[in-house]
Amino acid sequence: MTVVHITLDGVPIAKGRPRLSARGGIARVHTDAKTLAYEKRLKAEARAAMGAKKPLDGPLRLQVVAILPIPPSWSKKAREAAQRGETQPLGRPDLDNFIKITDALNGKIARGDRPAEPGIVWNDDSQVVEILARKRYGTPPRLEIRVETITDDNRLL
């Protein structure tokens, strides 16, 4: 079993909604600048975590934990409860948008005369067959990602 750990320090950013624009009667969909910058940071951390290793092959398990900052306006008692995990972040951003940000670990698809960029952690996100995800409060805020190859010894069910 191969395991890759990636930690991105700072307040986790969920994948933003795609933006639509039109120029010359042609509609274009693009990712907002905040999401692009965060994905760029995530790619850099993923490359550092992988080192010289090739992208993982076969079926993969993805674990994502978004550790959100505890609101400073909360009382000391409420902050301590959040730190212990007794209070859960029920508001936005949605958990599934933290999972979508992991698209940054993928290789890019070839376009026209440009070849595909090799994957970083995996070659295609279709390799991810199991996902475990959670958002919680904690300090310091960060996004933690664990990717592991699945073998007969470590199947969930």
Yes or no: say if 65 and 133 are a contact pair by the CB < 8 Å rule. yes
Q: What topology is assigned to 3-154 in CATH?
A: 60s Ribosomal Protein L30; Chain: A; (3.30.1330)
Structure tokens that stand for 36 in this block: 């692009």
**Length of the chain (residues):** 157
Structure tokens that stand for 111 in this block: 């376009």
Q: What percent of the chain has pLDDT over 70?
A: 87
| 121 compared with 36, residue with greater pLDDT | 121
Kindly report which listed range (25-29, 35-39, 134-138) carries the lowest average pLDDT score: 25-29
Domain boundaries, the chain: 3-154
Per-residue pLDDT tens for 57-108?
A: 999 999 999 999 999 999 999 999 999 989 999 988 899 888 888 888 885 6
Is 70 exceeded by the pLDDT of residue 157?
Answer: no
Region 112-141: mean pLDDT is: 83
pLDDT at 126: 87
Is 50 exceeded by the pLDDT of residue 22?
Answer: yes
Per-residue pLDDT tens for 109-124?
A: 444 555 556 789 998 8
Which of 13, 12, 17 has its CA nearest to residue 30? 17
Average pLDDT, whole number, for the chain? 85
